[in-house]
Amino acid sequence: MGPDRSVARPAQRGGKASAVTNPSPASSPRTLALCAWLLAVALFAPVLGWLVHTWSTSIYDAHGVLVPFIAAVMVFSRRRIWMDAPRVPAAAGLWLVAAGALLLLAALLMDFNLLGGVALIVTLAGLVWSLWGRPFLKQLAFPLGFLLLMLPLNYPLEIFVGFPLRLLSVKLTAAMLRFSGLDVTVQGTLIATSQFQVAIESPCSGLKTLSALLMTGLVLAYFLHPRWRDRAVLLLAIPPVAIVANAVRNMTITLIGHYHGREAAMGSLHSFSGLLVFLLAVTLLIFISEALLWRKTSTAA
C-alpha cells in the first residue's frame, strides 16, 4: 500500500465548519456617512462658493460668515447630550434628502442661489436623520435652523418688509422728536424740522440691525434659555427692540442736525451711529434675557 496522502483537518465544533467574514470597508457606517457628506459637499460646491462670495462682497450679509462657526460651537457645547442620543438610521430621512436634491435642481434651473442655500440646509437635516435617526436630528435641530441666518436674506426682506419698516421708523422717530418739544413735519420717509431735514433711506430702516440682533438673540436663547417659552419671549422682543433702537438713532441725528448743522449730523456720527445703535439694542436684549433668568430663579425659589 502507498503512503496515506490524506490531509488532516482541524476539528470542528458541532460538526459544522465555521466561516469568518471580514466586514467590507464600504459597509462601515462611518464610511457611508463620510461618503454621503463628501457627495453633498461636491453637489453643493456652487452654492457654497456663492455664499462665500456674497459674505465677502456685501456689507449687509457679511455676518453670514460667522453663522457656520457659531452653529459648530452650539453642536460642540452639547456634545455630551447628542452623543448619548440613540443612533438608529432611518429610511424616512431619505425623503428629506430627496426634497433637498429637488430644491437644488430647481435652484440650478432657475439660477436662484438663495433657494440652493435652503436646499443645502434641508439636505443636511435629511442626512442627519437618515444616517443617525430622528432623536439625533432633534438634538441638532436648533443649530441646523440657525444656519438659515447664513443665507443673504437682506434683499428679499427689503422687498417685503423694508418699506413698511421705514415708515414705522419714521412715525416713531417723529413721535419721539415731538415729545422732545421739536416741531416736525413728515412727508413719506422724509423728516423735516425748521433747520434740518433727513430722508430715512433703506440703510436706515433698521433691517440690518434687526438681522444682526436676531442672530444675537438666537445665541442667547440657545445657551441661556433651555425652555422654549423663554426663548419665544426673547425672540419676540427682538423686532420692537430693533425698531426702538433705530428710531433713537434717527432722532439723535435729527436733533444734532437741527441744532448743530448738517455737517455735524451726517459726518462721522452718522457713520458710527449704526454700531452705537446695535450696542444699544444688544444691551436692551441682554437686559430682557437677564430678566427672564431672574424670573426663572425667583420662581424656582
One pLDDT digit (tens) per residue for the chain, 301 residues: 444 444 444 444 444 444 444 544 444 666 766 787 788 888 899 999 999 999 999 888 888 999 999 999 999 998 888 777 778 888 888 899 999 999 999 999 999 999 999 999 999 999 999 888 888 898 899 999 999 999 998 878 888 888 888 889 899 999 999 998 899 999 888 999 989 988 888 777 778 888 889 999 999 999 999 888 999 999 999 999 988 888 888 898 899 888 888 888 877 776 777 788 888 899 999 999 999 998 877 776 6
* β-pairing verdict for 197-199 and 185-187: unpaired
**Residue 191, beta-bridge partner list:** 186, 198
Q: Which three cell numbers stand for residue 245?
A: 433702537
* Sign of the alpha-carbon dihedral angle for 44, 140, 157, 205: negative
Phi, psi of 199 (to 5 degrees): -100, 130
CA distance 61 to 80: 33
Helical packing angle, 45-57 and 29-43, nearest 10°: 60
- Domain range annotation of the chain: 28-152, 155-300
Please give the pLDDT value at position 26.
41
Q: How far apart, in Å, do the first and last CA atoms of the chain sit?
A: 99
Sequence-ordered list of residues with C-beta below 8 angstroms from that of 162, at least 6 positions apart, any chain: 202, 205, 207
CA distance 205 to 282: 17
